[in-house]
Structure 1
Amino acid sequence: MKGNKVLYERHAEIAVVTLNDPDRRNALSREIVRGLTGALNTASREGVRAVVIAAAGSAFCAGANIDDLRDGWMECPDPDEDPAVMFKRIAGFDRPVIAAVHGAALGGGMELSLACDLVVAGASAWFSMPELGHGVIPNTGLALLARVVGIRRAFELILTRRRVSADEALDIGLVNRVLPADEVLDDALSLAEQIVEAVPPGALKAAKCNLHAHVATDWHRVLRSPLDVPKQEWQEGLTAFTQKRAPDYARFWAEVKANPDQRGQP
């Protein structure tokens, strides 16, 4: 449907869910979060065997919609519009969920790929978590990244906010396959079909359930952790991003220096 920010279609027993806001590089907005959740509900209701999440345009997902971040997501988001709740839904979905990534997967886009079970990436895909530079945290990334790439590398990627190429992402286990961009969706579909064509649903669900149980995620902490960030800091960071200027964090460092008892406190 024209204007729909999330598209849903069936390829036999596989559902393809497509982020469809290319003008905004598929940035996670309230509408996209609702659409993704609705698509998963449809896939569950229809009894599909697997889900592939893809994207229209030049980018997979350029992170969170800044306007929505400033307007409630950092404090008390509606659960139906909370990206972390959506990521939890994807991670807990009882069928394989495969991300077909091309172009940029920034911030919430990288978190979206982490919530999926498998990732097929285009050769030009790249990943980054720039949140700390904007005075916010990748709350789902903090929970999921270390179990994928290890704690040392997770610290590095989150603290430095650097760009990870598709080839490096493959080397460190962030993605499963790297292919030419025009082959990514077809390969993700083929991988999904390969997985589900010869296994029964109960065993598949049990495998996913127990894999997650052995590397349990504290979703309660994920959902509340944005409140650990001082409001003045994320307001400055997001305002600076909107105004296309460098953020001024010097005063926050000065306040910490003047109040040493507060150091190390969330």
Structure 2
Amino acid sequence: MNSSKVLYERHGTIALVTLDDPERRNALSREIVRGMSNALDTALRDGARSVVIAAAGTAFCAGANIDDLRNGWMESPDPAEDPAVMFRRIAEFERPVIAAVHGAAVGGGMELTLACDLVVAAESAWFSMPELGHGVIPNTGLALLARVVGMRRAFEIILTRRRVSSEEALNIGLVNRVLPESEVLDGALSLAAQIVESVPPGALKAARLNLRAHAAIDWDRVLRSPLDVPSEEWQEGLDAFTQKRAPEYGRFWERRAM
């Protein structure tokens, strides 16, 4: 099974799912979300014991497709095309999921890594959540980041929108391993095989199920939280991004002060 933007292949007992829209730096689009969901379905039918998510081109994933954000994702997303629904599917998937990250993992790309169980990153990898600067929120990141790196670091990463290098990501627990870029995919596949070849499926499923249960996420709030952002603010942020100018948020602050 392959969509035009998501590729699926088997490496022994491991399913490899590759984001394949390098011209747009694998920005999450409706097509990629659908393709990812289809690939996960195929992995289950195929009897894959684990899934590795990788990406083609120079970036892992450069965030959300802005055209799709402006065209319904912020207010009335189709569940079949909603990135947050996809992230939940990955987080609650029946098999271990490992991200193999190189280059940028920005916004939705960073959220994708957070939804995975484990992350193997290239030395070149970096992570960022720039959403607030565009007048939107990383709704899944708000739910998942603090439980990975702690509340203080989560606030700082989300509020400052700065880049986190692979070295720092390893130090704060955002990734599990850092390797040279040429070794990342093989490293992720090897890690997946190491896990599933030495434990039975029922015990593995129970361990993952209970780890998630002890750090429960309110997915209903994740799905509805974009509606907490005033529409005029995210419209200005996305307009500014599209027009390659600085956003003008001053008027919104002035109204709040009145």
Q: What is the TM-score of this pair, normalised by structure 2?
A: 0.99
Aligned to 2:51: 51
What residue identity is the alignment partner of 1:79?
Answer: P
Aligned to 2:86: 86
Whole-Å Cα distance in 2 between the matches of residues 243 and 3 of structure 1?
A: 31
> Residues 193-227 of structure 1, C-alpha deviation per residue, up to 9 Å, x if partnerless?
00000111111110110000000000000000000
Please list every run of 5 or more consecutive structure 2 residues that lacks an aligned counterpart in the other structure: none
Does structure 1 retain, via aligned residues, the 8 Å contact 2:22–2:56?
yes
> Residues 141-168 of structure 1, C-alpha deviation per residue, up to 9 Å, x if partnerless?
0000000000000000000000000000
Q: 1:90-169 alignment to 2 at 5 Å? A: 90-169=90-169
Please list every run of 5 or more consecutive structure 1 residues that lacks an aligned counterpart in the other structure: 259-266
Whole-Å Cα distance in 1 between the matches of residues 91 and 43 of structure 2?
A: 14
Q: 1:112-261 alignment to 2 at 5 Å? A: 112-258=112-258
Q: CA deviation at 1:83?
A: 0.0
Q: CA deviation at 1:2?
A: 8.8
Whole-Å Cα distance in 1 between the matches of residues 53 and 156 of structure 2?
A: 27
SS in 2 for 1:17: strand
SS in 2 for 1:238: helix
Q: CA deviation at 1:46?
A: 1.4
Q: What is the TM-score of this pair, normalised by structure 1?
A: 0.96
Q: Which runs of 4+ in 1 moved over 3 A?
A: none
Q: 1:17-28 alignment to 2 at 5 Å? A: 17-28=17-28
What residue identity is the alignment partner of 2:84?
Answer: A
Aligned to 2:32: 32
> Residues 89-121 of structure 1, C-alpha deviation per residue, up to 9 Å, x if partnerless?
000001110000000000000000000000000
> Residues 216-244 of structure 1, C-alpha deviation per residue, up to 9 Å, x if partnerless?
00000000000000000000000000000
Whole-Å Cα distance in 2 between the matches of residues 229 and 2 of structure 1?
A: 35
Q: CA deviation at 1:174?
A: 0.1
Over the residues paired in the alignment, what is the CA RMSD in angstroms? 0.9
Whole-Å Cα distance in 2 between the matches of residues 193 and 134 of structure 1?
A: 40
What residue identity is the alignment partner of 1:246?
Answer: A
SS in 2 for 1:188: helix
Whole-Å Cα distance in 2 between the matches of residues 151 and 2 of structure 1?
A: 38
Whole-Å Cα distance in 2 between the matches of residues 219 and 6 of structure 1?
A: 25
- The sequence identity of aligned pairs, in percent, is 79
Does structure 1 retain, via aligned residues, the 8 Å contact 2:2–2:35?
no
